[in-house]
Structure formats: C-alpha cells, structure tokens
Amino acid sequence: MSTTRAAPASSGRRAAAGRHEHGTDPDHRRLSWRDRLYRFDMRYMPYVLIAPFFLIFLIFGLFPLVFNGVVALRNYRLDDPTLTGWAGLANFRQLFGDDDFWNALYNTFGIFLLSSVPQLLFALIVASLLNRRLRAQTWWRVGVLLPYVTPIVASTMVFSVFFSRDSGMANWVLGLVGIGGDEPINWRADKLHAWIAIATMVNWKWIGYNALLYLAAMQSIPRDVYEAAAVDGAGPWRQLWRITVPMIQPVIVFTVILSTIGGFQLFIEPMLFDLNSQAATGGPNGEWQTIAQLIYKVGWKDLNLGYAAAMSWALFLIILVVAGINTLLTNRLSGGRSR
C-alpha cells in the first residue's frame, strides 16, 4: 500500500518545500495572514486540541484531589460556616477512634471478599465457555453484558425485593432446598447475610464484564501452546488452570486491581439495600455500611465535609495498600511467569 502512495507523496513534499522556502525568503519577511495561519496551525493547533482534556482534568480531577487534602486538615462544616480554620490532624485523629469507620472498613472488606473472589472465578469459567466455537457467538457475548448495562440503581432495587424476609424469592428458593423453612432468613438483620446479599448484586453485575476481558486475553494465547498441552494429555479443566490462567495472568491482575478499586468504593448497592436508604446508615446498626457510604453520611448528612475529606484520604491509602497486596497475591496464585 505504501509503495503505491510513495510517488504522489514525494512529489507533494517537493511542492510544499517550495512553498516553505517562499515563506521564509528574506525578501518576503512580512508574512501574509495565510502563512501566519499556517504557522499557527502547525505549531499551536496540537495544543489547542489537547487543551480541553487538561483544562477539565485540572479543574475537576486533579485540583479536587489535592484540595481534598487541604479540606481534610481544616474545619469545614456545611451547617456551621463560622467554624473555619485549620484543624491540623484533628480529623485524622478522630478517624482512628471512630468505631463507625472501623465498622465500615470491616464491612467493606467483608463484602469485597465475598464479591471479588467468586466474581473473578465465575468470570473465568464463563470466559472459557465463551472461548469455544459457538453458534451465534456475538449473541452469547452480548447476553452476558445484560447486567453490565443495567443501572445498578435498578438492579439493586430488584435484589432488594429478592432478599426481602417475608415474601422474597431468595428465601422461597432456599426453603425449597430445606434452608430457612419455618424461620425465613432476615437478610437485613446481621452482617453475614447482608454481606452475602450485597455481594450477590456485585457478582451479578460484573461477572459478564470480567468474562469478556478474560475472553479477549484467552483468544490471544498462541494456538501452539494448546498443541503442546494436548501432547501432555491435559483435559479441558486442567487446560484452563494449567495453561489458560497462567497465560492470561496480566489480565487477571488487571481485573483484581479493578475490582479492588471498585469494591472499596462500593456505594449504590449498600445505599439502596437499606429500607431507609436516605439515612445512609447501612442497616439499623451499620451492619453493611461501607466506607463510601460513611463518607457520604458524614459529608452530606452530618454536614462535616472536613472529616469526610479526611476519610476519603484514608480510603485512598487503603485502596493503594490492598491493591498492592492483591497484586502480589494474584501473581503468586495464578502462577504466571515471575517478573
């Protein structure tokens, strides 16, 4: 293709070179507006094109993140504008003694474990199912994305009915297999059950999405790897764990990081699972209040933005640490090449 274009391109270059010399000719110091425009276009237009991103990001992305640190060190209450000034580390000190914070951290971690591990395991299995020669291949792939396009607000409301104590479908199904029975499970009464209910919503939402990420990686595994495996006599299940998983390890690490970042900012599900959602308490005694939810409550219900900002920073650090640990763990478990 490039060879056929070579001739006209080079002749074009010659023509342009001529024009350029004409422009910088000492006898023609005064540039016409056309040349000015051309120079502006060549030199500055790229910056004009990328400027919107940097403008928006600096004002609404980077600045708030940095400013968040400043707010965390100040008294900043929406209900008492007169109370201002530096608070020093008071907000952070309050954090360490705050039972609500530790409870929310515990909940967030519990829900994260119950959602991320099954989520990624099921995604692997769904991906390996999709990674066959299928009839109507596109439709299967589109089908697993149904949860992905469904608003979490909408699906959480469905699951909220699903997990209701008296007439919920979850209890009915469990009753069929002999669990619960006379005493139906009250999904909103204790931590473990609430966590399971919320984790179910998260799993439902993200399995298909992660499966497609894995599928993409699986399809780029060189075919001869499987030829070699067949010689060793590996069946499909062993093939998945011994060949496919180690080969797609970078993507697995990527999804682990994604689900850590997402899981630790879990907000919609715990908010709307609550029968009294506007309170943002995550259950009568904070059974399933997550950190993101607590930040919302502290900031916009208790109107203490300074403390909410400090909590955001703490969450940021926690996410960094957990994502780091998870990356190391995943590297170990999925047995990829050491790097």
Contact status: 315 vs another protein (CB under 8 A): yes
What is the nearest approach in angstroms of another protein to the Cβ of residue 181?
Answer: 13
Contact status: 87 vs another protein (CB under 8 A): no
Residue of the chain from 100, 226, 303, 336 that contacts another protein (CB under 8 A): 226
CA angle 169, 193, 320 (to 5 degrees): 125
Residues 280-299 that bind another protein (CB under 8 A): 292, 295-296, 299
Binding-residue pattern over the window 28 to 47 for another protein, x denoting contact by CB under 8 A:
---------xx--xxx-xxx
What is the nearest approach in angstroms of another protein to the Cβ of residue 337?
Answer: 20
Contact status: 261 vs another protein (CB under 8 A): yes
Count of residues engaged in binding another protein, rule: CB under 8 A: 126
Give the separation between CA 110 and CA 319, rounded to whole angstroms. 14
Contact status: 209 vs another protein (CB under 8 A): yes
| Segment (H or E) for 251 | helix 249-263
Residues 154-183 that bind another protein (CB under 8 A): 154-155, 157-162, 166-169, 172
State the residue for tokens 């400027």.
Answer: 51
> How many other C-beta atoms can be found within 10 angstroms of the C-beta atom of residue 306?
23
Q: How far is CA 228 from the centre of its chain?
A: 36
Length, in residues, of the chain? 339
Contact status: 275 vs another protein (CB under 8 A): yes
| 3-class SS of residue 304 | strand
| Closest-CA residue to 266 (of 289, 297, 238, 232) | 289
Q: How far is CA 260 from the centre of its chain?
A: 8
Contact status: 83 vs another protein (CB under 8 A): no
Residues 103-142 that bind another protein (CB under 8 A): 126, 128-135, 138-142
